[in-house]
Amino acid sequence: MTEHSYAVIMAGGGGTRLWPVSRKETPKQLLPLIGQETLFQTTVARLENLFVSQNILVVTVEEQAQEMRQQVPSIPVDNYIIEPLPRGTASVVGLAAVLLSKRDPEAIMAVLPSDHFIRNRDLFHYLIRAAFEAAQNGYLVTLGITPTHPSTAYGYIQQGDPISEGYKYPVYDVRSFREKPDEETAQRFLRSGNYSWNSGMFIWRADVVLAEIQKQMPALWNALKVISLDWGTARQSDVFTEQWNSLNVVTIDYGVMENAAKVAVMPAGGLGWSDVGSWESLFEVLLPDMSGNITANNGRLLAHETNNTLVYGSDEERLIVTIGVDDTIIVDTRDVLLVCKSDQSQKVREVVEHLKKHRQEKYL
Amino acid sequence: MTEHSYAVIMAGGGGTRLWPVSRKETPKQLLPLIGQETLFQTTVARLENLFVSQNILVVTVEEQAQEMRQQVPSIPVDNYIIEPLPRGTASVVGLAAVLLSKRDPEAIMAVLPSDHFIRNRDLFHYLIRAAFEAAQNGYLVTLGITPTHPSTAYGYIQQGDPISEGYKYPVYDVRSFREKPDEETAQRFLRSGNYSWNSGMFIWRADVVLAEIQKQMPALWNALKVISLDWGTARQSDVFTEQWNSLNVVTIDYGVMENAAKVAVMPAGGLGWSDVGSWESLFEVLLPDMSGNITANNGRLLAHETNNTLVYGSDEERLIVTIGVDDTIIVDTRDVLLVCKSDQSQKVREVVEHLKKHRQEKYL
């Protein structure tokens, strides 16, 4: 890693799959879901020894920025970039790239979600260093996760031929990006051995990704040029807001990666990665007791003939007693109690939709 | 029914099987478990048109008396008799009988638990009237409940020959009282057709039951005579406490009924009776929705793919969401949350024992 190495943490999202703990005002990344730190704090801590704090940018929205600055005061205030409105990952990547290029024409950037979990920090560091080497050579590198089961919850990356340029970790050409598959297709992907999950972690040179944006997304490119020109002047805010709000919402995968020239994938196994995308995913992330039970946050659990059950509490004075309960997720918050069979935890989203439809704002 | 007809409601018990709603300070009978009224209020309301308020006695303990008087102000204050200590049902029955005899030598009394549920109030009235007729003729009448399943949770009463004295409901000699049986024995009792559950509801003349106490429990008899002598004088409290606290704890079944002379049973089917002895029993008592779910008390339930689940809430501002849940009991109180498989709800008692052992007073 060099002084030209940057990390861009993307933290704009809301996400309803960890409701009722994640809410409009307190999205997943700002919560202490795993241990005492929030996912955002853990994400930043994971970058130690890779990036100096001055080289870490955070792109987020106004509602979350204040809390983030409090949670991670080590990052300079100006490194928090506030989206006037969420405009998709292509816009965020483009904005970060154009601002970094302005500051440092040789910038290489890692784009990282703020709300993922990675158990094996040493391997993560090793992979990032290897990815920066490949990125230096002009590749748009994606970090792929070697699948452990035929998940239908992730996009997949099909790898092609190995790139033999002597990197310290195997790097492959990308043959294709695939949307979230159905069960049968996921099975096929898993068996073939040539597919990785798309983790949403990317490493590239700012100038390389900007060249792809110029080619593939000219409207975004034009907006970014205008924004960049007035950035740091009195007109920054007005121009940024006007240009930004006119952008289409497009993902970086769809907008750039699928048709880019030099796209590479580093398929990572053993990273202990989770996108913490559902309550059930906490079973992969936290260490259960010998009955398979997990107590998260402040839950006080008295378990009697209970197995493979997750209890997330919010009030350590409250006693949570389970009797004869198996494979269940219990989330106890101040105003909502959720009891959910573990393998149904993706349906939390349907409940949130229902509450939205019926304008139960106070629970959202 | 005549001016000599009395009801004695026994309300001293604590009971831990409906924990965490029933607590030391608020036992089951004082809670609105079913509808808006407490079980105690419902028990008194059930006696309307049978007994005038002046003829209803309540035997309870100091901790509960004040709340009971508030819940049922229609019963005269002096009709609440306070046990200095719980001393078993034989002592309570004897005390009530000796005090009623002093007031009315022709008293006939129904002894009734304060915390049972009876759906069919008209049939209950009919049975009580019939039982008073048999009691008038000197029988110790027990109200038996025709079993609907081989329960191991109740004592059983074996009936003998019918008593053909023209009562308006069949009455039988009692052949034996049986303790709570094991599963196999309960099956046999059910098949034979000659056994009823012992409901703990008794009807008899005060003088008849006192004669049995004199014969079978002379120590109790002597204490009752002393208590009765000073009742209504300045010495009442001292004498009562001294005598009472020296008594052995004995049930009326064991102390009197098993060896009494003229014992009769009226086996009642269709009464819709429940002793509300566990959370699971509420499924017999309350009307579920078409998915089999029940919301009791203030629970606000949003059920998604949920069946045969009971939610007891305490705070109507709290939303309780269930997803993919079956056959479960959820009891949400201020300081304890219980999630329990329905058929395990008798194990609530084990949890309470555990908390007692570990001195978790605030949860008891």
pLDDT at B167 exceeding the cut of 90 = no
Scanning every residue of chain A, which has its alpha carbon at the shortest distance from the alpha carbon of B322? A339
Contacts of A350 (CB under 8 A, 6+ apart): B304
Angstroms from B341 CA to nearest CA on chain A:
5
B320-351: pLDDT as tens digits:
999 999 999 999 999 999 999 999 999 999 99
The helix (run of H) or strand (run of E) holding residue A172 is: strand A172-178
| Interchain proximity B343–A330, CB inside 8 Å | no
- Give residue A15's pLDDT: 73
A167-192: pLDDT as tens digits:
889 999 999 999 999 999 999 999 99
Angstroms from A310 CA to nearest CA on chain B:
12
Ordered domains of chain A (ranges, CATH) = 5-274 (3.90.550.10), 279-363 (no CATH)
Angstroms from A300 CA to nearest CA on chain B:
10
Whether B107 and B206 have beta carbons less than 8 Å apart is answered as: yes
d(CA A248, CA A220): 8
Q: What is the pTM of this model?
A: 0.86
- Give residue B299's pLDDT: 76
Confidence tier at A16 by pLDDT (50, 70, 90): confident
| Interchain proximity A339–B339, CB inside 8 Å | yes
A80-113: pLDDT as tens digits:
999 999 999 999 999 999 999 999 999 999 999 9
Per the rule left: phi > 0, alpha: psi between -120 and 50, beta: everything else, B272 is left
Residues of A in contact with B344 (CB under 8 A): 305, 323-324
| Interchain proximity A340–B323, CB inside 8 Å | yes
Confidence tier at A338 by pLDDT (50, 70, 90): very high
Q: What is the identity of the amino acid at A18? A: L
d(CA B161, CA A68): 82
* Residue A178, strand partner residues: A156
| Interchain proximity B322–A340, CB inside 8 Å | yes
Nearest-by-Cβ selection for A351 from B321, B343, B354? B321
Averaged over A201-207, what is the pLDDT? 98
Q: Which ipTM was obtained for this model?
A: 0.85
| Interchain proximity B350–A321, CB inside 8 Å | no
Confidence tier at A295 by pLDDT (50, 70, 90): very high
Contacts of B73 (CB under 8 A, 6+ apart): none
Confidence tier at B131 by pLDDT (50, 70, 90): very high
- Give residue B16's pLDDT: 83
pLDDT at B12 exceeding the cut of 80 = no
Residues of A in contact with B327 (CB under 8 A): none
pLDDT at B155 exceeding the cut of 90 = yes
Task: Tell me, letter by letter, the H, E, C secondary structure of B133-200.
Answer: HHHHCCCEEEEEECCCCCCCCCCEEEEEEECCCCCCCCCEEEEEEECCCCHHHHHHHHHHCCEEEEEE
pLDDT at B111 exceeding the cut of 80 = yes
Nearest-by-Cβ selection for B351 from A321, A325, A363? A321
